[in-house]
């Protein structure tokens, strides 16, 4: 009885290993703005200053996004990368994932006044 289950599990593992995983650079302290290209590739643009952690990288990307919007841009959602993780700046907050194809996890949420905060850090009203 255990043998068919073990074979099915092995087959599932083999199939998931074949799925392409798009991974970002993992350089320590370097924050990137990630720009999708027309051919499907990704262009990684280094932000000018080193960032001590993922939260600071997200804040730097958010400041860049807000500056572009103030200058008349229309891109409300952008990608970033920090130490081997993608960052997804969206209306709801900042999400992170180790690859483009994997599940995204909430890293920072927007407070009522638009600031980025760690989930659960703001008192409930």
Give the pLDDT confidence of 100-124 residue by residue, as tens digits: 999 999 998 888 777 787 877 656 6
Compute the average pLDDT of residues 6-16.
Answer: 56
Sequence-distant (≥ 6) Cβ neighbours of residue 28 within 8 angstroms: 83
Nearest partner of 81 among 37, 51, 116, judged by Cα: 51
Beta partners for residue 117, in sequence order: 109
Q: How far apart are CA 20 and CA 99, in angstroms?
A: 9
Please give the model's pTM, rounded to 2 decimal places.
0.76
Where does the pLDDT of residue 92 fall: very low under 50, low under 70, confident under 90, or very high at 90 and above? confident
78 compared with 74, residue with greater pLDDT: 78
Name the residue ranges covered by the structural domains of the chain: 22-117
- Cα dihedral: 21, 55, 94, 115 (round 10): -170
How far is residue 78's CA from residue 17's CA, in Å, rounded to a whole number?
A: 28
Hey, which residues does 105 pair with through a beta bridge? 96
What order do you get walking across the sheet with 31-36 strand by strand? 42-46, 31-36, 78-82, 85-90, 93-97, 105-110, 116-117
pLDDT in tens, 20-44: 788 888 889 999 999 999 998 999 9
> Which is higher by pLDDT, 75 or 50?
50
């Amino acid at each position: 009885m255990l043998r068919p289950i073990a074979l099915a599990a092995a087959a599932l593992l083999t199939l998931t290993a074949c799925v392409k995983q798009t991974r970002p650079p993992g350089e320590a302290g370097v924050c990137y703005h990630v720009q999708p290209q027309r051919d499907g590739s990704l262009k990684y643009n280094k932000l000018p200053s080193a960032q001590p952690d993922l939260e600071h990288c997200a804040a730097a990307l958010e400041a860049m996004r807000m500056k572009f919007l103030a200058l008349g841009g229309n891109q409300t959602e952008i990608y970033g990368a920090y130490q081997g993780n993608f960052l997804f700046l969206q209306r709801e907050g900042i999400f992170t994932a180790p690859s483009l194809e994997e599940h995204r996890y909430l890293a920072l949420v927007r407070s009522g006044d638009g600031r980025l905060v760690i989930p659960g850090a703001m008192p409930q009203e």
